[in-house]
Amino acid sequence: MRPTEDSYRHKGLRKALVEQIRSKGITDESVLQAMMAVPRHFFLDSAFDNVAYEDRAFPIAEGQTISHPYTVAYQSQLLQVKPFMRVLEIGTGSAFQACVLAEMKAMVFSIERQKQLFDDNRNFPFLRNYPSMRLFFGDGFQGLPTYGPFDRVLVTAGAPGIPEKLVEQLKPGGIMVIPVNDGDAQRMMRLTRRQDGGIEEERFDTFNFVPMLEGKR
């Protein structure tokens, strides 16, 4: 069962988590504000209620995870989201990251390849707070050509490489943030599509994500 009450205790724990994330180097106030606005314990079974505001990843259904809060903040900061941007997310999972982007006033389009997780989110009342958020069941390697191009693309699973179709769906000036396999971990990469069509690549820290897999399940 999901908890539905956001108590003063939860808000206090959330505030402490946001300060912890700030002290680890996240400086973008719009990201920190969004992290403060989304009750992370709503995204986990009530069994995790006491630990939902620790900076840890947790299991959700189908062997998948809700990412570390720090990782969500890190990716959101690199993405440089501005209000009304069209943002494509690969790997809806718990939908926590999607809600953080929606709190930053992005128009979120998020794809999940696991039917069970997609269905769970369709029955998740909290998501009705974000009427512009659209969730899709499909293979993220394909992107959403009919809804693109996008200002931003965010991949939240460990990718074997940079999926060409996702690059094609980026607007000129658009940014993609994607963790790419590098040995046993993933290297966080940021790709910027220049106005002349060229691609600029930047490398950041390493993280551990569940794998980005082909096809639907």
Residue ranges in contact with ligand SAH by CB under 6 A: 64-67, 90-91, 93-94, 96-97, 111-114, 117, 139-141, 156-157, 210, 212-213
Assign 87 to helix, strand or coil: strand
30 is catalytic: no
Q: How far is the CB of 12 from ligand SAH (least distance, A)?
A: 23
Q: How far is the CB of 194 from ligand SAH (least distance, A)?
A: 26
Q: How far is the CB of 40 from ligand SAH (least distance, A)?
A: 10
User: Residue 149: exposed, middle, or buried by beta-carbon count in 10 A (0-12, 13-18, 19+)?
Assistant: middle
Q: Which of 7, 23, 46, 67 is catalytic?
A: 67
Q: Are strands 86-90 and 107-112 parallel, antiparallel or unpaired?
A: parallel
Closer to ligand SAH by Cβ: residue 64 or 169: 64
Strand partners, 182: 185
Closer to ligand SAH by Cβ: residue 90 or 106: 90
Write the DSSP string, 141-176.
GG--TTT--EEEEEE-SBBSS--HHHHHTEEEEEEE
- Within 10 A of 93 (CB to CB), how many other CB atoms are there? 25
Q: How far is the CB of 91 from ligand SAH (least distance, A)?
A: 3
Sheet of 107-112: strands edge to edge? 134-137, 107-112, 86-90, 150-155, 170-182, 185-193, 199-207
Closer to ligand SAH by Cβ: residue 9 or 51: 51
Closer to ligand SAH by Cβ: residue 85 or 155: 155
The residues annotated with a catalytic role in the active site are 67
